[in-house]
């Protein structure tokens, strides 16, 4: 019997993020003979649901209600279980985002399904994910007949526009909210920096840069590229070496520049999830066994305080230490 696969879509500030489209590609590998069904929750989502059906060719279940305008884990979980329990899905897929890994455990309990998070690759019924801060890869196969899966953003390419028949949209009205909690308001982090989203080249700092003064070295490297920006791991932001608006990762921003230069970054899954979709990744680290080298296309085992000045000098254009390029959002 062909597997039934359901994707829980995200709807944020009037749009469906790219992570949901990555889930369609993942579901195609999971169950190649049958297109998945996408479940979309929100208040006024008839238009977005139709657009998603046209773009993906998937059937859409649009769950609409006043109580679904703002995300609430308990309310969303109850609404989804009402839909999914009668359908007895084999696979329920969510992006490994704040919403995804918040919902997944509760859904797995309600569905009596396995729960596998942070999936990076798939081979049949075996799923690969990182463990121990990215130092190991673990292959996991569920023993239950169904599983709830969260997929690491950037692990799969977003699906292309579907050229076949448009999917069918089914609307379900949902009333009532969680008796245990309710969401009053959702505020976007004031640290968001559009320069990171728009940058074609990102030079990113990890704790391994050693000291705050070395941030200037990374800024000098970034000046060699047009449309560049400086990013950071959470640990660098927690140390106060860079503002949180530079943070990349699970609790920061997700980026996919043409070139990502990771300086002193260990490669913890929380950071990798925010930059894995970069076209070319260069990693500079003194530890030859650093996890970042597993996702990097080019690996440099060297002290960045030695390597970066040589790289800048080799470019033939050594900018002065205080130089800053005239581009929006430069730190």
Give 250 or 321, the one with higher predicted confidence. 250
The stretches of 32-169 forming alpha helices (DSSP H) are 46-56, 73-87, 98-111
Contact assessment for residue 202 and residue 227, using Cβ atoms and an 8 Å cutoff: no
User: What residues contact 132, with CB distance under 8 A and at least 6 apart?
Assistant: none
The confidence band for 241, taking pLDDT boundaries of 50, 70 and 90, is very high
Q: Which domains does the chain have, with CATH numbers?
A: 5-173 (3.40.50.620), 194-314 (3.40.50.1220)
DSSP string across 229-282: EEEE-HHHHHTTSS-GGGBBSTTSB----SEEEEES----HHHHTTTTT-SEEE
Per-residue pLDDT tens digits for 123-143 = 999 999 988 766 788 999 999
Helix (H, G, I), strand (E, B) or coil at 294: helix
Q: Per-residue pLDDT tens for 145-168? A: 999 999 988 788 888 888 889 999
Convert the pLDDT of each residue in 74-114 to its tens digit. Answer: 999 999 999 999 999 999 999 998 899 999 999 999 999 99
What is the model's pTM?
0.74
Per-residue pLDDT band at 46 (split at 50, 70, 90): very high
């Amino acid at each position: 019997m062909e597997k039934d696969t359901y994707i829980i879509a995200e709807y944020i500030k009037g749009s469906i993020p790219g992570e949901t489209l990555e889930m369609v590609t993942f579901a195609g590998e999971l169950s190649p003979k049958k297109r998945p069904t996408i479940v979309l929750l929100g208040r006024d989502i008839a238009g977005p649901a139709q657009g998603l059906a046209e773009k993906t060719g998937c059937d859409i279940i649009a769950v609409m209600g006043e109580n679904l305008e703002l995300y609430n884990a308990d309310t969303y979980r109850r609404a989804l279980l009402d839909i999914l329990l009668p359908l007895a899905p084999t696979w329920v897929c969510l992006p490994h985002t704040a919403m995804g890994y918040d919902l997944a455990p509760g859904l797995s309990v309600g569905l009596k399904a396995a729960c596998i998070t942070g999936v990076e690759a798939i081979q049949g019924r075996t799923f690969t994910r990182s463990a121990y801060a990215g130092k190991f890869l673990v292959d996991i196969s569920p023993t239950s007949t169904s599983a709830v899966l969260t997929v690491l953003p950037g692990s799969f390419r977003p699906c292309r526009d579907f050229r076949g028949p448009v999917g069918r949209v089914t609307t379900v009205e949902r009333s009532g909210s969680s008796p245990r909690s309710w969401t009053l308001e959702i505020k976007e982090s004031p640290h968001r920096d559009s320069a990171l989203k728009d940058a074609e080249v990102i030079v990113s700092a990890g704790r391994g840069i050693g000291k705050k003064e070395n941030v200037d070295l990374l800024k000098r490297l970034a000046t060699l590229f047009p449309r560049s920006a400086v990013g950071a791991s959470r640990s660098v932001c927690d140390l106060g070496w860079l503002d949180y608006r530079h943070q990349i990762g699970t609790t920061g921003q997700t980026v996919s520049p043409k070139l990502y230069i990771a300086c002193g970054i260990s490669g913890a899954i929380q950071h990798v999830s925010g930059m894995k979709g970069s076209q070319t990744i260069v990693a500079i680290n003194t530890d030859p066994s650093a996890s970042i080298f597993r996702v990097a296309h080019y690996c440099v085992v060297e002290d960045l305080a030695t390597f970066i000045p040589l790289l800048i000098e080799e470019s033939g254009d050594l900018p002065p230490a205080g130089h800053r390029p005239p581009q929006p959002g430069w730190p």
